[in-house]
Amino acid sequence: MRKDTARFSDFCERLDLPAEAAGAAKLTITDGKQTLVENHRGLLEYGADQIRVSTGRGQIILRGSGLTLGAMSDRELLIRGRLLSAEWE
């Protein structure tokens, strides 16, 4: 399944189609105070200073202060609080 998603993602990339259409995770940061993660695969760690989010093909590590989960659905994740760094592993 994970291999198929990766292949479809590569295929979309060759056709110049947006990667998120193939289910790739997308990170949108607004003014460093609000972070939206689309196409996530769940929370791995949740804390006020660090939040780890699974993307299926890796994970996103968000570090900051006063981080809180504003809203969560099976596809999207809204995080509020001061974001200091975002790492993609």
Partner 1 sequence: MNRIERRIKGALRYELCGVQPEALLNACALEGLPFSELEIVDAYTLRLTIPEDERARLEALAPRCRCELRPLGGTGGRTARRALRRRWPLLLAAALLLLGLLVSSLFIWEIELIGRESLSRGLLLRALEDAGVAPGAFRPGLDADEVRSRVLERVPELAWMTVNVRGSRASVLLLERSDKPEIYREKDAADVTAKCAGIVRRVSVLNGRPLVRPGQAVLRGETLVSGVMDSLTNAPRGVRARAEVLADTWYEITALCPAGRLKETDGGTAQRRYALVVGKTRVNFYGKGGKALDGYDKIIREHRLAVKGLFSTPLCLVCEELRPYEARAAAFSAPEELQQRLFGELNAQIRGEIVSASFSVSEGDALLGVSLHAACREDIAKTVDIIP
Report the alpha-carbon distance of residue 8 to residue 26 in Å, rounded: 16
- Residue of 21, 48, 82, 88 interacting with partner 1 (CB under 8 A): 48
Q: Residue 38 corresponds to which tokens in the numbers above? A: 């689309």
Q: Give the side-chain half-sphere CA count within 13 A for 55.
A: 21
28 binds partner 1 (CB under 8 A): no
Report the alpha-carbon distance of residue 75 to residue 25 in Å, rounded: 9
Q: Is the dihedral of CA 32, 55, 71, 27 positive or negative?
A: positive
Question: By CB under 8 A, which span of 9-17, 29-37, 43-51, 57-65 interacts with partner 1?
Answer: 43-51
Least distance in angstroms from the C-beta of 28 to partner 1: 18
Q: Residue 32 corresponds to which tokens in the numbers above? A: 């460093």
Least distance in angstroms from the C-beta of 11 to partner 1: 27
Question: By CB under 8 A, which span of 9-17, 24-32, 56-64, 68-76 interacts with partner 1?
Answer: 68-76
Residues that bind partner 1 (CB under 8 A): 42-48, 68-69, 71-74, 77
